[in-house]
């Protein structure tokens, strides 16, 4: 190993309270320094550095999708073919690339320049199709743009990426003006009133901050909508153990791409939110667990943290950006904690809950990026002002991500409780005839066009309508789409992402995938449809973590609401 | 062991010296590793950087045979930095001044010169041990198999007394016994100076007690010979008959050539065994014995626990239990012994005659009525049948002899050290996949995993001599020479060769030095001088 | 007043140290489980131990569920049975669960659950057979029978801390791996067999005595290991006079079920054809000849008597055995001291 690499490893290890947590960053480093290939020697080095067995490192390397345990081409082209990508025409790009490069998915060109893969969800839902080239995103791709990309890469040059997207901020709290060149900088942020809330928070008692946030009634924006202030108040009192704050930036639910907008263009808002929250819960160490694909956003955050630190904003808390390895399940708070501890991202059995037994067995709070980004406003303007936004019990601004068949896919920051119709109108209206809509990320029940009429987009209203607001990722589906095909894409995602720990999720997603594939291939039987429904019914609520529910609910809804389309496949 | 295996898991810190548990006591190593997972600290002192050494918080790669100097160096730091347990010593120990006088002559820098362990590391060990209490000290044959073996042992107890690490759970001085029933054979009085239960043969009252129980008028009071002296007395005919029960001395004793000369000179050798061995070649009478699983009985483990051993099959052919063979010889010499089973021997004799086992009866270690095998063994001392057994000795610092006795101990080098002609140190021991002279493991399929002996050498020496891993080399000492495969490993420091005695071919005991600790008569298996030659 | 829990209509007091599964089992109520093992604690992976708890929306895994006062638990409602059946059918859908041929037939936790639930035929798809790993000396791996319960992995990493096994890959590709997913025989595995002991099914088998006995044909005999001085407690599974397999005795000191390679697999020597079966006397020509016990013992006794009378008792010396039982050593020293009249008795006490 090169001396320089060894130094880098030591630097990484020093950042973490326990060295096993450094295992993934070290693996990432060694992969990067070895032509994007984590070979056996690299795994052994990582194991030694983190004090773990090779078995554990191999288990990690084969769990997280971003580790390449086999050599890949110089440019690893990864096309997101999950539901939003699919709706935006990703399959066409895949076929185009296959033809252009003369290889199939999973293969590498003879000159070792390109490896082509399909991947599941890059959180680029409104800007699909997207090709990730190593750690860069190329969004809004067309066959012509793809050709240009390949030609440029062949010359060894990464071209500029077209990241244009519709962005509307009616509430003007979470999203700033991303067209401004220096919008991620400290000066820009402070000029617009940034870090005033933190200053105020530093004069408040931690309990006061918690009370304020409690009174704001803000509900967690990660998907479950659990009151954030209450979550904080579950931390044990008079406990001598350190408290950890984790900012959950592992945005991975298909249809969801809101957190990346805040982090990428308004990073100081996240930093300030973390700083205030850390003071509230008395955490001296905070982590931003960001999904590994968001490499450049992690850099932006690190730069913002550095700026804030230099500006004296972070005297009370040390914030560390930790890159994930490619795993949807790590969005679950206990899986995220496991992952941060240097393990496979398997969710933990609850209880105990993280508030009592989280990271390293210490009290831990895991909050979503958007949740934390709301905190500065609440602290600065007060809970009462915050409650004025939105509907009763559903307060504050919400970033809705709209993807699929609308004319202007993008992010829309509106108050909670905005009507779906209003948002669709803002998004330029539906392309073609609306067939169905998924309003809370892929894991919620699809609504038919009829059911979606007059839907109010807040937590309680969506629940009443038989679905969930979830992360607010709205996927719009027009009548060109086959629902069985959509169902297959859906189950393929969860099948791919299932951690494999518990039987109903691991085996259930496997059997449902096989049965849906069979149906779509014309080999299905009528009883397969009932079998899938039987599995969905029983898997719901039976799994160790919410992933089982995340696929059984949407699949069940698709089949029950569009059963005829499934039956039509049986020959 | 003063303490018990069950206490390992809750230990706060281990000090392991001269013990490679991973290979010699694997299950004990599991317990150590489990404790480490729970946050225990680990200090390892060993010439070899073995598996546990790699996991150690502090590893001291000491030179073979330098233990006393090294331990004195640690104690020197404890004294000079005022880190020792004064209260414990005041209340429970004596002769502290003697220790102090000796140890003060071993500043860490001097200890470093002798042991090769940096003075800084010695200080760090002392400070760490003083900071975390209690510490569990464990050793194995790396401590005892030296001409200064007894001194090594006493140094370990000096250290633990100085730190007050005795008389409580997860503390103590814990020698892990190498064989399943070496503890039991000691306990049963298969030692020249004591009756069962460590009752001295020189004590008149005790002698009378045993004479009465055994139905004889008198018993010898002069302590007998130890093994090396017995064997040395064979050529001179001072010992004319030699009874060897289940030991393969011809392979397991140091300097095989010499041992075989002694055995060959014997007038009359009787062997009880389950197989022909290298030793039975010298026997005049071989008596076939029942093996493990072929008789009921008890073993006593390192933690003083008397465990049941059970019969599942008949001995093959005419093979008989050993106790029966001895009883029959006694009968033919005019002594009719009553006990006619292991249960009768234990319940009616051992536990009656030895106070430490008075409370241990087969009924107590056999189990309940419905589950006749569900009980754990009992740990001695167990003075009466209501006593639960003793998990750790010296509770609250109360020693058997009254006060714990410090002893000032000077370091002495091994009898044979490396020189120009024999520039390497040879040290020996056991490996995971075999046991002793392989009489059992070779017949249980373990050769599949480890088919032959190796000489373990360092990468540096291999490079220097141009020896490849797996290549045959010649290792020679003043006593013999073997051809053996080299195993190049990062466990071994330059200048050291490490071998085992599992195979006749390449057996380390062709090379080892037949010199002994003057008191315990333990051989210096751990140190002799050898040379290493490339063959091809 | 003691806190109580109601399970299937029966009321049991509890002290807060035990899970619902443990309370139920102690009181004779069968709740099936596959990934739970008393030594490893709850894993909540298999979901077979789910029960219905009044006031709780989802089914709860009994292995991880701590009772609360007045908790009302139903262990076999229709909903519970349906869920369990689905889970077990999902497990049967993959691999090769052929009991007829399996050494663990009759001692298999999956088989027990299948039997309990009355699943006559697996309900879903059956995938192709997976390849055996026959590379190791003593352990045979059959991934087709593996249900990914993780007990072997917990055993390898947390119980014996050998750190060889782990889960590799993810989702339905999840598999038990050795090191970097290499055959066990090439891995750092030391064949301690902890994984075999903890395996609830027939995915980890012992190559010794493969297909020599069904579990119900063996009797279980507890004994002490004949190797090092730790004194591990062994449970021998014996058919006739043949040891079929060795298990560590769960819950017994000092090893609590754990063993090493020698303790678990080093037993064949007692059956060796090399065993001495008859007394042997060396002739003048140096050859050994077979003899009866009387002749051999008389010879020894007479020789001893002769030497004692000629040279005194101290001309005889004996070495006892550190491998054999206490009672043997006791009788040997008794022979030397009380019959021969010497203290020349020793053993390799220091090695």
Q: What is the Cα–Cα distance from A387 to A440, expressed in whole angstroms?
A: 22
Q: In percent, how much of chain B has pLDDT > 70?
A: 100
Q: What is the Cα–Cα distance from A426 to A418, expressed in whole angstroms?
A: 11
pLDDT value of residue C350: 59
Please give the angle made by the CA atoms of C105, C109 and C111, to the nearest 5 degrees. Answer: 50
What is the tens place of the pLDDT at every residue in A18-72? 999 999 999 999 999 999 999 999 999 999 999 999 999 999 999 999 999 999 9
The mean pLDDT value for B344-365 works out to 96
Residues of chain B with CATH 3.40.228.10: 5-176
B245 touches chain C (CB under 8 A): yes
Tell if the CB–CB gap between A349 and C172 is shorter than 8 Å.
no
What is the tens place of the pLDDT at every residue in C263-273? 999 999 999 99
The mean pLDDT value for A5-14 works out to 96
Distance in angstroms between the alpha carbons of the first and the last residue of chain A: 60
Q: Is the dihedral of CA A174, A177, A181, A187 positive or negative?
A: negative
Q: What is the Cα–Cα distance from A469 to A47, expressed in whole angstroms?
A: 42
Q: Which residues of C touch B141 (CB under 8 A)?
A: 350-351
Please give the angle made by the CA atoms of C11, C12 and C17, to the nearest 5 degrees. Answer: 150
Pick the CATH number of A483-567 from 3.40.50.410, 3.20.20.70, 1.20.1440.230, 1.25.50.10: 1.20.1440.230
What is the tens place of the pLDDT at every residue in A389-405? 999 999 999 999 999 99
Q: Which residues of C touch A66 (CB under 8 A)?
A: none
The mean pLDDT value for A195-204 works out to 97
The pLDDT of residue C130 is above 90: no
What is the tens place of the pLDDT at every residue in B187-231? 999 999 999 999 999 999 999 999 999 999 999 999 999 999 999
Q: What is the Cα–Cα distance from B519 to B527, expressed in whole angstroms?
A: 18
Q: Nearest by CB to C172, which of A344, A507, A538?
A: A507
Tell me what the pLDDT averaged over chain B comes to. 95
pLDDT category at B401 given cuts 50, 70, 90 is confident
> Could you tell me if the ipTM is greater than 0.90?
yes
Which chains are adjacent to chain B, needing at least 3 Cβ pairs under 8 Å? C
- A348, A496, A507: best to mutate for the C interface, most C CBs within 10 A: A507
The pLDDT of residue B58 is above 70: yes
Q: How far is CA A244 from CA A148, A236, A287, A344, A363, in A?
A: 46, 13, 8, 20, 6
The pLDDT of residue C96 is above 90: no
- Which three-class secondary structure state does DSSP give residue A131? strand
Tell me what the pLDDT averaged over chain C comes to. 95
A45 touches chain C (CB under 8 A): no
Tell if the CB–CB gap between C64 and A349 is shorter than 8 Å.
yes
The yes/no answer on whether domain B182-384 falls in CATH 3.40.50.740 is yes
Q: What is the Cα–Cα distance from A539 to B475, expressed in whole angstroms?
A: 66
B415 within 8 A of B145, measured Cβ to Cβ: no
B327 touches chain C (CB under 8 A): yes
Topology of domain A390-478 in CATH is Ubiquitin-like (UB roll) (3.10.20)
Q: Which residues of A touch C180 (CB under 8 A)?
A: 40, 43, 54-55, 58
Tell if the CB–CB gap between A509 and C157 is shorter than 8 Å.
no
Q: What is the Cα–Cα distance from B47 to B496, expressed in whole angstroms?
A: 8
pLDDT value of residue A546: 95
CA distance B13 to chain C (A): 18
Spans of all domains in chain A: 3-61, 75-154, 168-387, 390-478, 483-567
B371 touches chain C (CB under 8 A): no
Q: Is the dihedral of CA B105, B111, B113, B118 positive or negative?
A: negative
The pLDDT of residue C1 is above 80: no
The mean pLDDT value for B179-190 works out to 95
The mean pLDDT value for A537-555 works out to 96
pLDDT category at B83 given cuts 50, 70, 90 is very high
Residues of chain C with CATH 3.10.20.740: 1-126
The pLDDT of residue A483 is above 60: yes
Structure tokens of B115? Answer: 């042991």
- C210-275: CATH number: 2.20.25.90
B198 touches chain C (CB under 8 A): no
Q: What is the Cα–Cα distance from A135 to A294, expressed in whole angstroms?
A: 8
More confident position, B372 or A447: A447
pLDDT category at B100 given cuts 50, 70, 90 is very high
Query: Residue B486's closest CA among B501, B461, B460, B467?
Result: B467
B72 touches chain C (CB under 8 A): no
Residues of chain B with CATH 2.40.40.20: 424-534
The mean pLDDT value for B309-325 works out to 97
Topology of domain C1-126 in CATH is Ubiquitin-like (UB roll) (3.10.20)
Q: Which residues of B touch C341 (CB under 8 A)?
A: 218-220
Q: Which CATH class is domain A75-154?
A: alpha beta
pLDDT value of residue C121: 87
Q: In percent, how much of chain C has pLDDT > 70?
A: 98
Q: Which residues of C touch B337 (CB under 8 A)?
A: 331, 334
Residue at token pair 């560390």:
A320
Q: Which residues of C touch A509 (CB under 8 A)?
A: 171-172
Q: Which residues of C touch A58 (CB under 8 A)?
A: 166, 168, 177, 179-181
pLDDT value of residue C128: 65
Structure tokens of B483? Answer: 């051809």
Residue at token pair 């209501």:
B386
CA distance B33 to chain C (A): 6
pLDDT value of residue C112: 95
pLDDT value of residue C351: 55
Which chains are adjacent to chain A, needing at least 3 Cβ pairs under 8 Å? C
Q: Which CATH class is domain A168-387?
A: alpha beta
A398 touches chain C (CB under 8 A): no
The mean pLDDT value for C41-53 works out to 95
What is the tens place of the pLDDT at every residue in B129-156? 999 999 999 999 999 999 999 999 999 9
Q: In percent, how much of chain A has pLDDT > 70?
A: 100
A51 touches chain C (CB under 8 A): no
Half-sphere exposure at residue A512, Cβ-oriented, CA atoms within 13 angstroms:
37
- B424-534: CATH number: 2.40.40.20
The pLDDT of residue A181 is above 90: no
Q: Which residues of A touch C177 (CB under 8 A)?
A: 55, 58-59, 62
Q: What is the Cα–Cα distance from C165 to C191, expressed in whole angstroms?
A: 11
Query: Residue A296's closest CA among A161, A430, A421?
Result: A161
A435 within 8 A of A477, measured Cβ to Cβ: yes
Tell if the CB–CB gap between C324 and B289 is shorter than 8 Å.
yes
pLDDT value of residue C126: 64
Distance in angstroms between the alpha carbons of the first and the last residue of chain C: 58
What is the tens place of the pLDDT at every residue in C279-321? 999 999 999 999 999 999 999 999 999 999 999 999 999 999 9
Q: Nearest by CB to A502, which of C45, C167, C170?
A: C45
Parallel/antiparallel/unpaired status of strands B424-429 and B135-139: unpaired
A429 within 8 A of A447, measured Cβ to Cβ: no
Q: Which residues of A touch C156 (CB under 8 A)?
A: 55
Cis preceding linkage at B134, omega within 30: yes
Q: Nearest by CB to C177, which of A43, A55, A496?
A: A55
Residue at token pair 């089949």:
A559
Tell if the CB–CB gap between C326 and B299 is shorter than 8 Å.
yes
CA distance C190 to chain B (A): 8
CA nearest to C234 within chain B: B309
Q: What is the Cα–Cα distance from C64 to C83, expressed in whole angstroms?
A: 17
Query: Residue B221's closest CA among B236, B229, B231, B211?
Result: B211
C244 within 8 A of C218, measured Cβ to Cβ: yes
Pick the CATH number of B5-176 from 3.40.228.10, 3.50.50.60, 1.10.150.120, 3.40.720.10: 3.40.228.10
Tell if the CB–CB gap between A499 and C171 is shorter than 8 Å.
yes
Tell if the CB–CB gap between A531 and C90 is shorter than 8 Å.
no
What is the tens place of the pLDDT at every residue in A553-569? 999 999 999 999 999 99
The mean pLDDT value for A475-497 works out to 97
Topology of domain C130-207 in CATH is Alpha-Beta Plaits (3.30.70)
């Amino acid at each position: 190993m090169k001396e320089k690499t060894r130094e880098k490893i030591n630097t990484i290890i020093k950042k973490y309270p326990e060295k096993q947590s450094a295992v993934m960053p070290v693996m990432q480093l060694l992969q990067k320094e070895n032509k994007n290939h984590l070979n056996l020697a690299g795994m052994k080095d990582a194991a030694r550095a983190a004090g773990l067995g090779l078995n554990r490192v191999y288990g990690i390397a084969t769990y997280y999708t971003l580790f390449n345990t086999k050599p890949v081409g110089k440019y690893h082209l990864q096309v997101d073919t999950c539901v939003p990508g699919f709706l935006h025409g990703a399959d066409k790009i895949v076929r185009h690339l296959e033809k252009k490069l003369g290889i199939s998915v999973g293969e590498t060109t003879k000159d070792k320049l390109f490896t082509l893969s399909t991947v599941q969800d890059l959180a680029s839902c409104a800007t699909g199709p997207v090709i990730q080239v190593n750690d860069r995103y190329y969004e809004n791709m067309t066959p012509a743009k793809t050709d240009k990309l390949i030609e440029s890469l062949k010359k060894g040059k990464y071209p500029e990426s077209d990241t244009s997207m519709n962005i509307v901020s009616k509430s003007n709290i979470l999203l700033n003006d991303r067209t401004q060149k220096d919008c991620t900088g400290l000066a820009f942020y402070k000029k617009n009133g940034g870090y005033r809330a933190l200053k105020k928070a530093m004069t408040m008692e931690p309990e006061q901050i918690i009370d304020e946030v409690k009174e704001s009634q803000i509900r967690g924006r990660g998907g479950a909508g659990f009151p954030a202030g209450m979550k904080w108040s579950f931390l044990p009192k008079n406990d001598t153990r350190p408290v950890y704050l984790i900012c959950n930036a592992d945005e991975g639910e298909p249809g969801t791409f809101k957190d990346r907008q805040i982090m990428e263009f308004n990073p100081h808002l996240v930093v300030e939110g973390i700083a205030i929250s850390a003071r509230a819960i008395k955490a001296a160490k905070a982590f931003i667990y960001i999904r590994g694909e968001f490499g450049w956003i992690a850099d932006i955050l690190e730069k913002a943290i550095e700026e804030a630190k230099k500006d004296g904003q972070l005297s009370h808390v040390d914030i560390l950006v930790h890159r994930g390895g490619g795993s949807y399940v790590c969005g679950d708070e206990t899986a995220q904690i496991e992952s941060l501890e240097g393990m496979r991202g398997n969710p933990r059995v609850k209880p105990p809950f993280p508030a009592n037994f989280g990271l390293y067995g210490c009290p831990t709070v895991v909050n979503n990026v958007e949740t934390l980004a709301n905190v500065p406003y609440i602290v600065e303007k007060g809970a009462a002002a915050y409650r004025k936004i939105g509907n009763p019990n559903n307060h504050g601004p919400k970033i809705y991500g709209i993807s699929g068949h609308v004319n202007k896919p993008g992010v829309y920051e509106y108050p909670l409780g905005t009507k779906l119709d209003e948002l669709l109108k803002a998004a330029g209206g539906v392309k073609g005839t609306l067939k169905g809509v998924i309003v809370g990320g892929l894991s919620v029940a699809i609504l038919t066009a009829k059911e979606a009429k007059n839907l109010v987009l807040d937590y309680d209203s969506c629940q009443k309508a038989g679905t969930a607001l979830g992360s607010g990722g709205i996927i719009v589906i027009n009548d060109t789409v086959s629902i069985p095909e959509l169902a297959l894409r859906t189950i393929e995602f969860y099948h791919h992402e299932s951690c494999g720990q518990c039987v109903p999720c691991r085996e259930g997603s496997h059997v449902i995938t096989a049965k849906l594939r069979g149906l779509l291939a014309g080999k299905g039987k009528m009883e397969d449809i009932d079998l899938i429904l039987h599995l969905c019914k029983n898997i719901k609520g039976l799994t160790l973590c919410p992933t089982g529910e995340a696929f059984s609910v949407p699949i069940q809804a698709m089949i029950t609401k569009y059963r005829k389309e499934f039956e039509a496949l049986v020959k | 062991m003063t303490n018990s295996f069950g206490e390992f898991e809750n230990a706060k810190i281990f000090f392991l010296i001269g013990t490679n548990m991973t290979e010699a006591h694997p299950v004990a190593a599991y317990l150590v590793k489990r404790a480490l997972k729970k946050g225990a600290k680990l200090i390892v002192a060993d010439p070899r950087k073995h598996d546990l050494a790699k996991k150690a918080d502090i590893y001291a790669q000491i030179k073979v045979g330098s233990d006393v100097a090294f331990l004195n160096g640690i104690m020197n730091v404890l004294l000079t930095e005022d880190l020792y347990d004064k209260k414990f010593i005041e209340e429970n120990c004596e002769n502290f001044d003697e220790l102090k006088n000796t140890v003060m002559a071993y500043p860490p820098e001097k200890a470093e010169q002798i042991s090769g362990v940096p003075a800084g590391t010695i200080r760090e060990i002392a400070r760490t041990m003083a900071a975390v209490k209690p510490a569990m000290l464990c050793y194995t044959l790396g401590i005892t198999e030296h001409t200064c073996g007894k001194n090594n042992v006493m140094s370990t107890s000096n250290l633990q007394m100085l730190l007050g690490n005795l008389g409580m759970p997860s503390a103590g001085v814990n020698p892990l016994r190498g064989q399943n029933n070496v503890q039991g054979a000691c306990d049963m009085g298969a030692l020249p100076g004591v009756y069962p239960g460590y009752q001295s043969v020189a004590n008149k009252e005790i002698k009378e007690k045993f004479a009465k129980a055994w139905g004889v008028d008198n018993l010898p009071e002069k302590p007998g010979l130890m093994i090396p002296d017995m064997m040395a007395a064979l050529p001179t005919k001072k010992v004319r008959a030699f009874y060897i029960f289940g030991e393969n001395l011809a392979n397991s004793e140091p300097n095989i050539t010499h041992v075989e000369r002694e055995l060959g000179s014997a007038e009359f050798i009787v062997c009880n065994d389950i197989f022909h061995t290298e030793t039975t070649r010298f026997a005049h009478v071989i008596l076939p014995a029942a093996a493990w699983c072929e008789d009921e009985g008890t073993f006593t483990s390192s933690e003083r626990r008397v465990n049941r051993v059970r019969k599942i099959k008949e001995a093959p052919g005419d093979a008989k239990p050993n106790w029966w063979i001895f009883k029959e010889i006694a009968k033919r010499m005019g002594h009719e012994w009553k006990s006619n089973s292991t249960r009768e021997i234990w319940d009616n004799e051992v536990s009656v005659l030895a106070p430490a086992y008075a409370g241990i009866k087969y009924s107590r270690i056999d189990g309940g009525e419905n589950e006749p095998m569900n009980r754990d063994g009992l740990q001695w001392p167990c003075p009466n049948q209501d006593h639960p057994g003793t998990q750790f000795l010296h509770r609250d610092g109360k020693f058997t002899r009254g006060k714990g006795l410090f002893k000032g101990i000077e370091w002495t080098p091994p009898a044979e050290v490396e020189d120009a002609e024999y520039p390497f140190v040879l040290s020996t021991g056991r490996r995971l996949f075999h046991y002793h002279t392989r009489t059992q493991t070779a017949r249980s399929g373990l050769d599949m995993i480890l088919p032959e002996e190796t000489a373990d050498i360092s990468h540096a020496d291999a490079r220097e001599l141009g020896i490849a891993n797996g290549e045959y080399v010649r290792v020679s000492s003043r006593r013999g020479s073997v051809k053996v495969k080299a195993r190049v490993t990062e466990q071994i420091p330059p200048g050291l060769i490490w071998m085992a005695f599992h195979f006749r071919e390449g057996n380390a005991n062709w090379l080892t030095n037949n010199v002994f600790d003057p008191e315990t008569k333990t051989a210096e298996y751990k140190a002799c001088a050898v040379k290493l030659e490339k063959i091809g | 007043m003691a806190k109580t829990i109601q399970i299937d209509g029966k009321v049991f007091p509890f002290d807060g140290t035990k899970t619902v599964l443990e309370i139920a089992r102690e009181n004779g109520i069968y709740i099936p489980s596959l990934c739970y093992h008393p030594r490893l604690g709850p894993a909540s992976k298999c979901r077979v131990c789910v029960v219905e708890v009044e006031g709780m929306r989802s089914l709860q895994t009994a292995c991880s569920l701590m009772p609360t006062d007045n908790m009302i638990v139903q262990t076999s409602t229709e909903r519970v049975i349906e869920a369990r059946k689905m889970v077990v059918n999902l497990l049967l859908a993959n691999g090769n669960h052929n009991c007829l041929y399996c050494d663990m037939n009759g001692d298999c936790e999956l088989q027990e659950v299948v039997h309990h639930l009355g699943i006559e035929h697996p309900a879903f798809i059956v995938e192709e057979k997976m390849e055996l790993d026959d590379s190791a000396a003593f352990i045979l791996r059959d991934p087709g029978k593996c249900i990914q319960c993780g007990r072997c992995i917990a055993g390898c990493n947390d119980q014996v801390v050998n750190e060889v096994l782990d889960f590799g890959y993810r989702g339905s590709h999840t598999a038990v791996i050795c090191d970097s997913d290499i055959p066990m025989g090439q891995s750092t595995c030391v064949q301690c067999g902890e994984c075999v002991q903890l395996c609830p099914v027939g995915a980890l088998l012992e190559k010794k005595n493969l297909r020599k006995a069904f579990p119900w044909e063996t009797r279980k005999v507890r004994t002490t290991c004949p190797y090092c001085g730790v004194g591990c407690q062994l449970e021998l599974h014996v058919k006739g006079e043949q040891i079929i397999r060795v298990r560590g005795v769960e819950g017994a000191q000092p090893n609590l079920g754990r063993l090493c390679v020698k303790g678990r697999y080093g037993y064949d020597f007692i059956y060796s054809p090399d065993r001495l079966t008859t007394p042997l006397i060396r002739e003048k020509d140096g050859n050994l000849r077979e003899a009866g016990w009387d002749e051999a013992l008389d010879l020894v006794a007479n020789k001893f008597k002769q030497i004692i009378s000629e040279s005194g008792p101290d001309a005889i010396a004996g070495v006892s055995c550190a491998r054999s039982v206490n009672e043997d050593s006791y009788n040997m020293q008794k022979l030397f001291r009380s019959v021969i009249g010497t203290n020349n008795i020793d053993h390799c006490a220091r090695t």
